[in-house]
Structure 1
Amino acid sequence: MRRRAPRGDRSVARSLSTFKYLTFDVVGTLIDFEAGLTAPLAAIAAEHGVPFDPEAALALYRDARYMPDALRFPDDLTRVYGVIAPKLGLPSDAAYGARLRAAVPGWTAFPDSAEALERLAKRYKLIAMTNAQRWAYEHFSNALGNPFYAAFTTDDTGTEKPDPAFFEQVFSFVEADGGAKDDVLHVAQSQYHDIGVSRQLGLTNCWIQRRHAQPGYGGTIAPSQFTTPDYHFTSMAELADAVEARHAA
């Protein structure tokens, strides 16, 4: 089901000019995770003459990724491939799973991400909050132009969003840096991993609805309840434009 929230900010939302920190989900918000995942799968399918449906692959990935025996992402892609390959009609050889993981350093940013982050970094301290491991984050950060003031990965926190403990470590960093939780705007595309829990923790949030032109949640688990965000845009460019307009007002 395609979900749409009111565009821009709610009447109760604070002005974008009042924040000091922007915290970001990385994979799916800034890095095109779905294209990065489906491209190598499509290539394997083409090599073996197998029809390939990207949305079906994303649905299978989503189910496999959240199995009890899941490992840290993206090392877990090797295991995930073994689960989904038979269902997609692809060869199950372990070498293909390793190939899926090996493609991660080449995952690209959404076309608007790096430029928008460069603009936002002129006004805020940017903090990455990613469920990816540190080795993968380093590649993603390079693709984005290394815009971050600080970064927290699953290796650093020992947990994954939506665990509040992940956010609490970031709050502790912000406080040690001289800021407060109220100085933070959390920016993300995942309702499940970010928008819902950020609301529960009292953060102001901004939903970047990357799949606004597509139904469903793709490779991301669907939330049990939709959370109306404080701010809602369909691209990072829209957020950067809104910030500049608020500061110019």
Structure 2
Amino acid sequence: MAGFRALTFDVVGTLIDFETGILDGVRAQGVTTPDEQVLAGFAAAEDLQQQLTPELPFTQMLDPISRRMGLPEPAALRASITTWPAFPDAPGALARLHRGHRLVAFTNADRAATAAFARTLGDPFDDVVTVDDVRVNKPDPQFFAWGLARLDAAGIGREEVLHVAQSRYHDIGTAHRLGLATCWVERRRGRAGTGATPAPAAAVEPDLHVADLAELTGLLGVPA
């Protein structure tokens, strides 16, 4: 599948392994609740927080999310965000994809966290769109419209853009409704539930469906 000039990426959950980051941060507080229960609790708390403060970056949502989860150190999870790891396939695949595409981060994180994520990923992005810029979180279509306007200013139309994300709640549905081609990276393939990501109100069929970015590079015909 060729023809895309730009790839826009959700970052947290797609490129950065936020479930590992969350579990490490929770375990460091001495919490022994089973992993899937912790992740489901995070998803429920985030879903509510998204509705209450849609303008707040994900980074700043972590404190109230932690309080709703009953964590003993509510600020600890936010403090750990810059240490969350990349998925092992992400840095190398992004470097390969960058050879023939403009890469843009579309993230609900703030600029400081996004800068740390970019360093972890090998600084692959040509541009970054954060909640600090747009003042609203995905899945709000205003976020995507703002990012697409930046791409349009760079001479790239939405028909030349593939949006890549693991979250059907935050990304795939809205991107699809706006006419973007979408790629769902199913990071939890083979595991039940949606983990730390809230479940979408309705499932949307993506244009591409992969387990990781290595699979995506193959579908796009990117050489190793």
The bucket for the TM-score relative to the shorter chain is over 0.9
> Aligned letter for 1:73?
F
Question: How far off its partner does 1:84 sit?
Answer: 0.9
Q: Does 2:5 match 1:24? A: no
Distance 2:42 2:206 in 1: 26
Distance 1:168 1:76 in 2: 23
Q: Say if 1:179 and 1:51 are closer, same or farther in 2 by CA, change over 3 A.
A: closer
Question: How far off its partner does 1:244 sit?
Answer: 2.5
Question: How far off its partner does 1:203 sit?
Answer: 0.7
**SS of match in other structure, 1:214:** coil
Question: How far off its partner does 1:56 sit?
Answer: 0.7
Q: 2:129 aligns with which of 152, 156, 162?
A: 152
Question: How far off its partner does 1:147 sit?
Answer: 0.5
**SS of match in other structure, 2:219:** helix
With structure 2 as the length reference, what TM-score do the two structures score? 0.93
* Cross-structure match for 1:7: none
Q: 1:54 aligns with which of 31, 35, 38?
A: 35
* Cross-structure match for 1:234: 211
Check whether the contact 2:46–2:198 (CA below 8 A) recurs between aligned residues.
no
Instruction: Count residues in correspondence.
Output: 220
Q: Does 2:19 match 1:43? A: no
* Cross-structure match for 1:81: 66
Question: How far off its partner does 1:66 sit?
Answer: 2.5
What does 1:1-249 correspond to in 2, within 5 Å? 16-45=1-30, 51-67=32-48, 68-70=51-53, 71-85=56-70, 91=72, 96-244=73-221
Distance 2:76 2:32 in 1: 19
With structure 1 as the length reference, what TM-score do the two structures score? 0.84
> CA RMSD, aligned part only?
1.6
Distance 2:66 2:181 in 1: 36
Question: How far off its partner does 1:78 sit?
Answer: 1.8
Distance 2:68 2:174 in 1: 29
Q: What's the CA shift string for 1:90-144, capped at 9, x where partnerless?
A: 53xxxx1222111111001000000000000001000100011111101001100
Larger Rg: 1
Point out where structure 1 has 5 or more consecutive residues left out of the alignment: 1-15
Distance 1:200 1:138 in 2: 29
Distance 2:52 2:156 in 1: 38
Identity between Structure 1 and Structure 2 (%): 42
Point out where structure 2 has 5 or more consecutive residues left out of the alignment: none
